[in-house]
Structure 1
Amino acid sequence: MALLVIPSTVIWSYGVAAVVLAAWLVAISLRGDWQKAQGFDKLLLFGTLFYAAPVAAFGTEHFTLTNAIASIIPAWIPWHYFWVYLVGACFIAGGLSLVTGIQARLAASLFALTFFLFVILMEAPASAHQLRNRFALTIVLREISFSGGALALAARLTEEQHRRGGHILATIARYFIAIPVLFYSFEQFMHGDHVPAVPLEPLTPTYIYGHAIWTYLAAVAYAVTGALLFVGKKTRAAATWLGLTVLFVELVVYVPIGVVERASLDNGLNYVFDTLMYCGAVLLLADAMPRSRQNSQSIS
């Protein structure tokens, strides 16, 4: 019945995300990651999945919505359809690489570069022409956060003999997450009626229990954790609590939206997976931050 009611564009994206989920479950089972992780480190294991499944689903859209995606590529860039298909295939392959661990550092580095190029080539120029549109800046900062999450994973996977370079990458990733978080905190305080986590244009639906309280709750958590990340204090704890905040918002706000809008790509799947991927980026940052000296099993 789902195949009959839900459009094929949505089904394909959910299907590819499900494949990534299955690959992640097999990989962590074979490696014994869940048994090895202690305390909140078990939560951090989900960072890779939360990042990889959405990015693979978005890669699928490059094949199901080729014309629409090609239309947003700047006119001066040649071979629009070639880039749409190439990026789509790379997103799917890269998502599988992250969860299986096969060439994961290379995939993470390329994801970080890709999203940064999206900002430079498309999002930032578009935002510059819409200076009064706060949502344009929100999207720019979201893409920077996606780049930061992948950069954090690449830093964590850097070999021991190159730890200094890994530390530099992790520091850049921290700022790529912290600065958007502080801006998002301000936006959520100012516009509590809009959806939380990544404060985009839609209003929080009235059927969401608690309604605007979740946006203000996220704003407070963002202000505290974002400030700690920005100044470099208790960074692992701050990123972990930030990730928990986004995950909580995902469950209480975006999952209900996804259920109601299950047949919609724009209003359903994309909003659910955007926020899930943002959560994944934050958890990847947390996993790349140094552990507390007092207690390696504590997040503080």
Structure 2
Amino acid sequence: MKEFALIGQLFIALALFVFGIQHFAYLNFVTRAFPPLPLWIPASGVFACIFGALLCLTSLAIVSRYKTRVFTLLLASAIFIMFAIFLLPSLLVNLKNGFLWTNSGKALVLVGANLLVAGSVAGETSNSLLKFLERFIPLGKYLLAGFFILAAILHFIYAEFVATLIPAWIPAHLFWTYFAAIALIAGAIGMLVPKTAKLAAALSALMVFLWVILLHIPRAWTIHDANETTSLFEALAMCGMALLIMVKAAESRNTPQ
């Protein structure tokens, strides 16, 4: 199981590094990790680089095992604060906007990704603030499950649009759209039930990884824009999250009560 934990961590680290590089490449907030800053805030490109650096440093901390819990907890906090200040208010006044729901959900799922990585490494914090942030580590799996349910709902609401994202060589696009929605809900619920958490997380990781291979990589290869690249690595990060949930569930089942 340790190998799966390592793979999950590396998937998340790779996603964070790519997001950080995108900030530098575009000098803008082009990923869902952080929302774009309002126009009244000057030097947006400078802030994009600052947050891009935080993403890259956290990625390197995960890979190097140096202060991993510190960096992931700080990044999770930064993503959540930016979400609460700049994205949540827009969502609350535009509740019918599927685009904002998706962006909000993906920001929170990246909070969860960092929490899951923090929970998968040995404790190394002594600062009182970091000890406070550690209390939120268990929320990681709920944030992934919550996003799965949100994505499933959006699959049903925007079924015809989602169907257009499926490769042309795959038949019955609407069928697979609804099937994926049901699978997302089943995976979300299964990951939260102790008896089924390991299997549900494993199957969810496999499902999302197949989407990476069949859907996201081909789209990113043919459609050269920041959104497709971001979507590819968001999916990879979610696959990594599911793997970490699987490992944690396996460890919990093997621990004497």
Pairwise TM-score range, normalised by the shorter structure = 0.7 to 0.9
Query: 1:278 and 2:242 equivalent?
Result: no
The residue aligned with 2:184 is 222
Query: Following the alignment from structure 1 to structure 2, what is the Cα–Cα distance between the partners of residues 205 and 238?
Result: 23
The residue aligned with 2:248 is 288
CA RMSD of aligned residues (A): 3.3
Cα shift at 1:99? 1.7
SS in 2 for 1:130: coil
Query: 1:54 and 2:18 equivalent?
Result: no
CA contact (8 A) 2:28 2:36 kept: no
The residue aligned with 1:103 is 67
The C-alpha deviation readout for 1:119-138, integer Å capped at 9, x for no partner, is 21222122123222122112
Query: Following the alignment from structure 2 to structure 1, what is the Cα–Cα distance between the partners of residues 68 and 124?
Result: 16
CA contact (8 A) 2:73 2:134 kept: no
Query: Following the alignment from structure 1 to structure 2, what is the Cα–Cα distance between the partners of residues 148 and 54?
Result: 13
TM-score w.r.t. length of structure 1: 0.70
The residue aligned with 2:153 is 186
Structure 2: give runs of 5+ residues left out of the alignment.
none
Query: Following the alignment from structure 1 to structure 2, what is the Cα–Cα distance between the partners of residues 212 and 270?
Result: 24
TM-score w.r.t. length of structure 2: 0.80
Q: Residues 52 and 234 from structure 1, CA distance in 2 versus in 1: closer, same or farther, beyond 3 angstroms?
A: same
Q: Residues 206 and 287 from structure 1, CA distance in 2 versus in 1: closer, same or farther, beyond 3 angstroms?
A: closer
Query: 1:124 and 2:88 equivalent?
Result: yes
Cα shift at 1:170? 4.1
SS in 2 for 1:146: helix
The residue aligned with 1:237 is 199
CA contact (8 A) 2:70 2:125 kept: no
Tell me the amino acid that sits aligned with residue 178 of structure 1. Answer: A
Query: Following the alignment from structure 2 to structure 1, what is the Cα–Cα distance between the partners of residues 35 and 217?
Result: 30
Query: Following the alignment from structure 1 to structure 2, what is the Cα–Cα distance between the partners of residues 159 and 125?
Result: 34
Relative CO higher for 1 or 2, CA cutoff 8 Å, sep ≥ 6? Answer: 2
Tell me the amino acid that sits aligned with residue 97 of structure 1. Answer: A
Tell me the amino acid that sits aligned with residue 216 of structure 2. Answer: Y
The alignment-based identity, stated in percent, is 23
Q: Count residues with an aligned counterpart.
A: 248
